[in-house]
Structure 1
Amino acid sequence: MTTEPAAQDVVRQTVPRGPRTPREPDDAGASLWRVAARRLRRNPGAIVGAVIVLLFVLVALLAPVLAPYGAGALPGRAEIRPTVIPGPSDAFPLGLDRYGADLLSQLIWGARASLLIGILSTVLGLLGGALLGLLAGAFGGWVDTVTMRLVDLMLSVPSLLLAVSVAAVIGQTPSAIIIAIGVVQVPIFARLLRGSMLAQRDQDYVLAASSLGLGRRTVVMSHILPNSLSPVIVQATLMLATAVIEAAALSFLGLGGGSPTSAEWGRMLTAAQNELEVAPRLAMWPGVCIAVTALGFTLFGEALREALDPKTRKR
C-alpha cells in the first residue's frame, strides 16, 4: 500500500525557489553609533558629503601650506590697471582681484575664516540652546513655560534679520558675526533638546531609575540627557552649513569689519560687485565655494539623521 505525499510537500517540490538575497549585518547588540556608521558607509550621499567636508577642513587647516601667498598679500598690485584685471596666468592660476591679491590664495584663506566662524558660532549656539533646553526639559512647569516663550520670541524674528540686528549692535568685527550667528541658532537647539528630553522622560528606563531612589538631577544628567543628544548632534552638523552661508551674508553686508582685501568669501563677493562685467570670475569662485561647502555639510547631516533614526532603517 502506497501513500501519496502531503500537499505541502508537493508544493515544496514543484515550486522553484528564487535566488536568496544577502542578509544585512545583524545590528542586534551593536551600539547606536556603530550601526549609524555602518549605514553611513552604504549611503552615497553621506560619502559625497563627507568627502566635501573633509576637503574643506583640510584646505582650511593647511592654508599656510597650500596658499601660494599669505592672507592679505597683494603680489600683483603693480599689474592692476583701472580698466584691466589680469586673468589666470602661470603665476596666478585663477587671476587677480581688483586690489592685486591672488584669487586662489584668497579662496584658500577664506576657507579657514569660514571654518572658524562656522564652528565657533555653532558651538556658541549649541551651548546656549542646550542650557535653555535642559532647563525646560528637566524642570517643566513654569520654568518650561517661561523658557519656551523666550524661545518663541526669538523664533518670531527672521534669522537673517536677527543676526543683522545683533551684529549691528555689537559692532563690525568678526567676533560680532560669530555671536550673531550663535544667537540665531540658540532657539533651534533649545526646542530640539527640550522635545527630545520630553520624549525620553516617559521611557521605562527613567521610571526604573526613579523607582530605585535616584534623584532628579542624577536621572536627568545620567540617563535622560545622554539619550537626548543624538538629534542635537545631527542638527549641529546641519547648522554648520547654515553658519557658513550666514557668515558670508553678513560679511557681504559689511558687518564683519576688516579691510576690503581681507580673505573671506562674503567680503570677496562684496568686492566683486563692481567688477561683474569686467571679471565675473571674481564673484563666481567665492559663490561656488560657499555653495559646495554648504552642500557637503547638508548631505552629511541629512545622511547622519537618517542613520540615527530607527524609523528609516532599511532591512
Structure 2
Amino acid sequence: MSTDPSAQPLLHATAGAATGSPGPSGRDAGASIWRVAVRRLRRNPGAILGGVIVLVFVLVALLAPVLAAYGPEALPGRAEIRPTYIPGPSSEYPLGLDRYGGDLLSKLIWGARASLLIGVLSTLLGLLGGALLGLVAGAFGGWVDSATMRLVDLMLSVPSLLLAVSIAAVIGQSSTAVIIAIGVVQVPIFARLLRGTMLAQRGQDYVLAARSLGLSRRTVTMSHVLPNSLGPVIVQATLMLATAVIEAAALSFLGLGGGSPTTPEWGRMLTAAQNELEVAARLALLPGACIAVTALGFTLFGEALREALDPKTRKR
C-alpha cells in the first residue's frame, strides 16, 4: 500500500527523535548520518592513522605482481642457503632470504594478498550468514527468534579458535577451509548484533508511525528497520577484519592453511621461522609485525567509525 509522500519527512523526523540523543547542530544540521560520519573521521587522528595503514595494506595486496621482485613460489637464492647460515639484507634482497631461498620482501608482499583475500572473504561469509539469521530473528520474533538464538548460543558456547580449528580440520587443509572456518565463527556475532539492533528499532516511534499509515510489516522491516540497523553491523565488520587476519595467521601457524612451506602467507612464514630464531630472527619478527600492524589499522579505523556513527558521541 503506498503512502502519502508528505508523510515521509514525518517518518524520518520521528526516527531521529526516537534515538533520544541530541540532533546535530551547525553545519551538521540536515546532513545524512554517513556524511556527518565522514566529516568526523577526517578530524580523528586515530581514524586517519588506521585508514592509512589499511590503505597501504590493500594497495600492497592488490599491486603484489608489480611490487614483488619475484613470484610467490620463486626461490632465487636457494643456492646461497646453508644449514647454519641464511643470507641477510643485500642490494639484491633488501630483507634477505628465508630458509628455502625465497626473497623475504617478495614473500611478505604476496603474503599481504593472501591475508587480504582470506580476511575479506571470511568476513563477508560471516556477515551474510549472520545477517540472514539476525534478520529472521529480528523480523519474525516469537518462537522463530527463540529457535534462532538458541542456535547462535550453541555456536557461541564453543571457543572461537577451537571451533575454527575443528571446522578447518574436518574440511581439510586449504585456504578455502580457513575462509569457511573463520566465516562460521563470525556468524553468531553478526547475528546477535543485527537481531538486537532490529529489536531496538522495532520499538521506536517511527515504526509505530509507519504502521499507522498502513505499511505492512515486511515493508517497515525492509525499508526502515533494516537500513537503520546496518550501521553497527558495518562497524563490526570492519573490526572483524582485524580478527580475521589474526585468526587466518593462527590457523596457518597450526598447519591448517594448506599449501607448501614455501607458499607465501604470514602465518605459514611464522611457522617456518620457528627453528631459525637464533640464525635469522627477522624471519619471525617481520611477518609478526605485518600481522600486528594490519590488525591495528583495522581496529583503529573500526573504533573511529563506531564513534563517528554513534549519535551519543556527537558534539552539540
Same fold (TM over 0.5): yes
AA at the equivalent of 1:142: W
Match of 2:123 in 1: 122
Residue by residue over 1:82-116, the C-alpha shift from the partner in whole angstroms, topping out at 9 and shown as x without a partner, is 11100000100000001000000000000000000
Structure 1 residue 240 and structure 2 residue 237: aligned? no
Match of 1:31 in 2: 32
Match of 1:91 in 2: 92
What percentage of residue pairs aligned between the two structures are identical?
86
Which structure has the greater CA radius of gyration?
1
Residue by residue over 1:160-206, the C-alpha shift from the partner in whole angstroms, topping out at 9 and shown as x without a partner, is 00100110011001000000000000000000000100011011111
- The 5 Å alignment of 1:213-224 reads 213-224=214-225
Match of 1:300 in 2: 301
Equivalent-residue separation in structure 2 for 1:309 and 1:226 (angstroms): 15
Residue by residue over 1:213-235, the C-alpha shift from the partner in whole angstroms, topping out at 9 and shown as x without a partner, is 22111111111101100000000
Equivalent-residue separation in structure 2 for 1:149 and 1:225 (angstroms): 22
Match of 1:288 in 2: 289
Q: With CA pairs under 8 Å and 6+ residues apart, which has the higher RCO, 1 or 2?
A: 2
Equivalent-residue separation in structure 2 for 1:229 and 1:82 (angstroms): 55
Equivalent-residue separation in structure 2 for 1:263 and 1:248 (angstroms): 11
Equivalent-residue separation in structure 2 for 1:253 and 1:76 (angstroms): 27
Match of 2:180 in 1: 179
AA at the equivalent of 1:259: S
Equivalent-residue separation in structure 2 for 1:194 and 1:65 (angstroms): 44
- The 5 Å alignment of 1:163-178 reads 163-178=164-179
Alpha-carbon distance, 1:120 to partner: 0.2
Equivalent-residue separation in structure 1 for 2:53 and 2:289 (angstroms): 13
Equivalent residue of 1:97, what SS?
Answer: coil
AA at the equivalent of 2:279: V
Equivalent residue of 2:27, what SS?
Answer: coil
Alpha-carbon distance, 1:312 to partner: 1.1
Equivalent-residue separation in structure 2 for 1:31 and 1:263 (angstroms): 43
Alpha-carbon distance, 1:314 to partner: 2.7
Equivalent-residue separation in structure 2 for 1:242 and 1:106 (angstroms): 22
Q: TM-score, normalised by structure 1?
A: 0.92
Match of 1:155 in 2: 156
Residue by residue over 1:277-314, the C-alpha shift from the partner in whole angstroms, topping out at 9 and shown as x without a partner, is 11000000000000000000000000000000011113
- The 5 Å alignment of 1:54-203 reads 54-203=55-204
Alpha-carbon distance, 1:25 to partner: 4.4
Equivalent-residue separation in structure 2 for 1:83 and 1:300 (angstroms): 42
Equivalent-residue separation in structure 2 for 1:188 and 1:312 (angstroms): 24
Q: TM-score, normalised by structure 2?
A: 0.91
Q: Which blocks of at least 5 consecutive residues in structure 1 are unaligned? A: 1-23
Equivalent-residue separation in structure 2 for 1:181 and 1:46 (angstroms): 26
Q: Which blocks of at least 5 consecutive residues in structure 2 are unaligned? A: 1-24
Equivalent residue of 1:229, what SS?
Answer: helix
- The count of residues paired between Structure 1 and Structure 2 equals 292
Equivalent-residue separation in structure 2 for 1:52 and 1:149 (angstroms): 38
Alpha-carbon distance, 1:208 to partner: 1.4
Pairwise CA RMSD of aligned residues?
Answer: 0.8
AA at the equivalent of 1:51: V
Equivalent-residue separation in structure 1 for 2:193 and 2:112 (angstroms): 29
Equivalent-residue separation in structure 2 for 1:186 and 1:126 (angstroms): 6
Match of 1:19 in 2: none
Alpha-carbon distance, 1:27 to partner: 1.2
Equivalent-residue separation in structure 1 for 2:315 and 2:47 (angstroms): 16
Equivalent residue of 1:172, what SS?
Answer: coil
Match of 1:266 in 2: 267
Residue by residue over 1:125-160, the C-alpha shift from the partner in whole angstroms, topping out at 9 and shown as x without a partner, is 000000000010000000000100111111111110
Residue by residue over 1:221-275, the C-alpha shift from the partner in whole angstroms, topping out at 9 and shown as x without a partner, is 1111011000000000000000000000000000010000000000000000000
Match of 2:21 in 1: none
Alpha-carbon distance, 1:210 to partner: 1.0
Alpha-carbon distance, 1:26 to partner: 2.3
Equivalent-residue separation in structure 2 for 1:202 and 1:37 (angstroms): 28
Equivalent-residue separation in structure 1 for 2:183 and 2:203 (angstroms): 31
AA at the equivalent of 1:304: L
